[in-house]
Amino acid sequence: MSAGTPPVALTVAGSDSGAGAGIQADLKAFAAQRVYGTSAITAITAQNTRGVVDVHPLPAAVVGAQIDAVLDDMPVAAVKIGMLGGADVAAEVAARARDGLLPNLVLDPVLYATSGHRLGALAVVEPVLPYALLVTPNRDEASALTRTPVDTVAEMAAAARAIAGSGARCVVVTGGAEDGDAVDVLWTGDEIRVLRSPWVPTDNDHGTGCTFSAAVAARLAHGDDLFTALDRAKRYVAAGLAGARLWKVGGGRGPLDHFSF
């Protein structure tokens, strides 16, 4: 069966050699959602399921050239931003966002890998916040952005609202756990909504945040409204976690199955 031309999405993020997170996760999530995925690589990380070994940021002009090459030729309908690298890269991205070139912008404010390795800085992420339709911090990133502890669902809600104060339209704080559910808390710009799905017990959760934000961007590229996009992305990540529960890819926290749905 042949299908029509898919919508196009762009990820601006770092490469993960182990392919569980970063650009590789984003492109798999885009493909799984039947979106044509394009990429601008901001940094090369030497990384596997056990952690990050090395990080090599790319020059800002090289990142800008990749973004422009894609935008000049393809009808990009949504953009996901992950690891940015340096402040100069953030400035390149912010300039294009300011010019209205990055539609449906989903910003995953990456600060640390699951292993704890530092991959970003507040000074790099904060200048891009005002241009995001949606920001997707996990609890640690929300805590860093608000300079307050973020553990409980109530604290996630307060943080989502506070981060929206920096100019982003909507904020979803991810990674909560309550009553056997995986809980994310969304500030829509008007109200708080709590998103729940059954918690999947697994050690294979490397790249969940990257995959989630990429899947939201993919759904927005298809034309979903934000709440539908979030709901579908959450169910997609849960299916990927469940599908890879018994996988043994590497000795650390393994990837999820991007094609289990």
Ligand X SMILES: Nc1ncnc2c1ncn2[C@@H]1O[C@H](COP(=O)(O)OP(=O)(O)OP(=O)(O)O)[C@@H](O)[C@H]1O
* Nearer to ligand HMH (CB atom), residue 158 or residue 182: 182
CB 40 within 8 A of CB 90: no
| Stretch touching ligand X by CB under 6 A, among 35-43, 53-61, 159-167, 233-241 | 233-241
Sign of CA dihedral 134, 140, 141, 144: positive
> Which of 258, 156, 248, 157 is CA-nearest to residue 210?
258
CB 87 within 8 A of CB 63: no
Residue type, 95: A
Q: Tell me whether residue 247 is exposed, middle or buried, using C-beta atoms within 10 angstroms of its C-beta: 0 to 12, 13 to 18, 19 or more.
A: middle
Is residue 85 a contact residue for ligand X (CB under 6 A)?
A: no
Q: Which does 14 bind (CB under 5 to 8 A by kind): ligand HMH, ligand X, none?
A: ligand HMH
Is residue 184 a contact residue for ligand X (CB under 6 A)?
A: yes
C-alpha of 97 from chain center: 17
CB 174 within 8 A of CB 139: yes
Q: Which does 175 bind (CB under 5 to 8 A by kind): ligand HMH, ligand X, none?
A: ligand X
Is residue 207 a contact residue for ligand X (CB under 6 A)?
A: yes
Q: Tell me whether residue 54 is exposed, middle or buried, using C-beta atoms within 10 angstroms of its C-beta: 0 to 12, 13 to 18, 19 or more.
A: exposed
Which residues of this protein are in contact with ligand HMH, per CB under 6 A? 13-14, 16, 21-22, 45, 47, 82-83, 110, 113-114, 119, 207, 209-210
Bridge partners, 76 (sequence order): 8
* Nearer to ligand X (CB atom), residue 60 or residue 163: 163
Q: What does the alpha-carbon distance between residue 231 and residue 246 come to, in Å, rounded to a whole number?
A: 25
For residue 205, the minimal CB distance to ligand X (Å) is: 5
Is residue 143 a contact residue for ligand X (CB under 6 A)?
A: no
* Nearer to ligand HMH (CB atom), residue 29 or residue 157: 29
Residue 134 per-residue DSSP state: E
Q: What does the alpha-carbon distance between residue 210 and residue 215 come to, in Å, rounded to a whole number?
A: 9
For residue 5, the minimal CB distance to ligand X (Å) is: 29
Q: Which does 257 bind (CB under 5 to 8 A by kind): ligand X, ligand HMH, none?
A: none
* Nearer to ligand HMH (CB atom), residue 110 or residue 133: 110
Candidates 234, 254, 255, 258: give the one binding ligand X (CB under 6 A). Answer: 234
* Nearer to ligand HMH (CB atom), residue 39 or residue 146: 39
Is residue 219 a contact residue for ligand X (CB under 6 A)?
A: no
Report 1-20 residues binding ligand X (CB under 6 A).
Answer: none
Angle between helices 22-32 and 208-221 (to 10 degrees): 40
Interface residues toward ligand X, by CB under 6 A: 21, 114, 138, 174-175, 182, 184, 197, 199-200, 202, 205-210, 212, 234, 237-238, 241
